Amino acid sequence: MLRDITIGRYVPGNSALHRLDPRTKLLGALVYSAAVLSCSSFISMSAAGAAAAAAALISKIPVSYIIKGLKPLRWFILFTVIINLFCIDGKILWHLGAVHITYEGVSAAALLALRFIFFVLGTSLLTLTTPPIALTDGLARLLRPLKAVKLPADDIAMIISITLRFIPSFADEAERIMKAQKARGADFGSGSMISRVRSIMPVTIPLFISVFRRADELSLAMDARCYGKGVRNPRKKFFFGRTDAYFSLIMIIFCGFLAIIEFFN
């Protein structure tokens, strides 16, 4: 299940989405996330879903692989849906004693689930179509104005990029440790909730040791390459081309369309 995490992974390709300037994709992902979180109706949410589906098709990455990234989060989504389903008052659709489901609760639960799903899909598409180095350089370029107030923009960009990059690495490491424990007779899928929590301990301790070891190796590698000792130049020059202009125009039209829907809703 942990191998299904797609946030932080990169899939090489030559699609129009892959060729976009990383700064354009970062701003597009930020605008799309803000738009999704602002949607308050199913019509605008449907438009956001159509935009995510179009981006997935343009990326030429299998849709099944992109959707697979939601699998590790299904229990969290289900938990938030249940909380909203039973804890919001309004027009009662079904009740059993003190437990009741309302029309407002169903609507809020569905909208919250869709917001979370589209938010994750948008973030996954960003990392799936952008190499980690390009993502770091693009983020550093966007944060460059922060240098005027003495903030380390390059370091902030590097921290965010490393965090995204190591999410799938840690997931793979946890999967490897769990398989090794299963080969030694460990059982993670049966028993009571307390026994399942206890069975996770043999995985948690080796995982933390591996995390600290990788962090130490990364710090030594960065220090050996004199990171932070001078001005860091990007490996590749980025240019805002015609495709980026078209993408920006589409995002402006998309945001305007959502604003109109929200205004008349």
160-209 residue pLDDT tens: 878 777 777 777 777 787 787 777 776 666 666 666 667 677 777 888 88
Coil, strand or helix at 102: strand
Query: Hey, what are 194's tokens?
Result: 């307390």
Lookup result for tokens 């309004």: 90
Domain-wise residue ranges, the chain: 2-130+237-264
Query: Hey, what are 119's tokens?
Result: 């938010």
Q: How far apart are the first and last CA of the chain?
A: 39
Shortest CA distance to 70 belongs to which of 32, 114, 13? 114
25-67 residue pLDDT tens: 999 999 999 988 888 888 889 999 999 999 999 999 888 888 8
Query: Hey, what are 195's tokens?
Result: 């026994």
pTM of the model: 0.77
CA distance 70 to 114: 12
Mean pLDDT of 198-222: 80
12 CB-contact burial (10 Å; exposed 0-12 / middle 13-18 / buried 19+):
exposed
CA distance 127 to 163: 12
- Predicted local confidence at residue 32, as pLDDT: 92
* Summary count for the chain: helices (H), strands (E): 10, 2
- Predicted local confidence at residue 150, as pLDDT: 78
Per-residue DSSP letter, 64: H
Torsion of CA 157, 160, 161, 164, to 10 degrees: -170
User: Among 38-52, 110-124, 204-218, which stretch is predicted with the lowest mean pLDDT?
Assistant: 204-218
- Predicted local confidence at residue 213, as pLDDT: 86
